[in-house]
Structure 1
Amino acid sequence: MTPTLTAEPIAALTPPPIETITFASGQRHEVMAADADHLVIVFSVAPMDRPNVPHVHDDSDEVFEVLGGHLLFTLNGVAHHLAAGDSIVIPHGAEHSWQVVGDQDLQARVTFTPGCRFHDFLRDLAALERAGRLRADGAPAFRDFALLQRRHWAHLRVTKLPRPVLRAVVVVGVTCATLTGRRLP
């Protein structure tokens, strides 16, 4: 007798996420792997009015893969238009930002090598959003920005300011947060 082969749906073959981080705005980040070797996050983000803040990941290289939707990705000042099936490699320390463009949500996967704690940053940012502590543009206000940047400096450092100026801003912001009893949720 010949065995019968059945095809299992792809979803059945994909392990469930370790953690799902959801934002009130609809962003959804599924942490698929998180260890010393790599961090893998599959996520969905709606079209954006403006790019996210230019930033670097000082200790990890990043591979950004577009699974669906369209993206304007800026790497070291050079713009790249990415669509489903495209990917881009971001070496550690390279300045980048991105913006979901068009009318479709972005579906993407990002892999950090070696692994890092970027998902901790996402969790804190989502908590700030749920607490109503993000500005209309989605950015945290001064004290919360300083607290976030101090906690997650190794995993995400904004580059709008030179490093010494950013350090000073963080010190002042954390001091203000401490004096006013402000903490991350």
Structure 2
Amino acid sequence: MRKLILNIVIFIFGWLSLQGQVEADSSILGNYPDVDERKIVETKWRYTYALHLESNTIFHKAEKEYGYFLHFKYDYTYEQFLNGKYDKGVWNINGCDLMYNFKHIKKFQIAQITKNVLVLEFVQPNSKGTYQYHFVRVDSKDAPFVKPANELPVVLVEELDVKKNKKQWWNFGKKKR
């Protein structure tokens, strides 16, 4: 009986310690909310500057001679254009983690994504601190990517604000203009 109780206690403590490790790991990785994949598919971005997050110092700014463009395609491939060099690869998104390869960095966290701004955050293993790449969205005409002849035009569909168009019940007796 003692051995059975001892085995149960050891099992419970082992299970609880594993649960604590899983919760600690998920809190480290989950700094940012999950990103809706539709916000990044078929978007084109131009790099503007790189920032060291802890010191809030811009250590690289894109001047006229430095051009880095990024295009995330609908088929989970990306195109990048860096100072005249064209490259392709595959990308994937998992929560707020964006996996694509750029200068020996394979995993980024999407710190911010809006209609016009993309901020990719990363940590390099051989340096201290956290870094961010800042991008602005560009139109197809301003990006250096060539569109294949068999590809359909890009259509931007946005949802209207449902609350603005929704009629309230107390407007029942009002006259319509």
Category of TM-score, reference length = shorter chain: under 0.3
| Greater RCO (Cα-Cα under 8 Å, separation 6 or more) | 1
Computing the radius of gyration from Cα coordinates, the structure with the larger value is 2
TM-score normalised by the chain length of structure 1: 0.27
TM-score under structure 2 length normalisation = 0.28
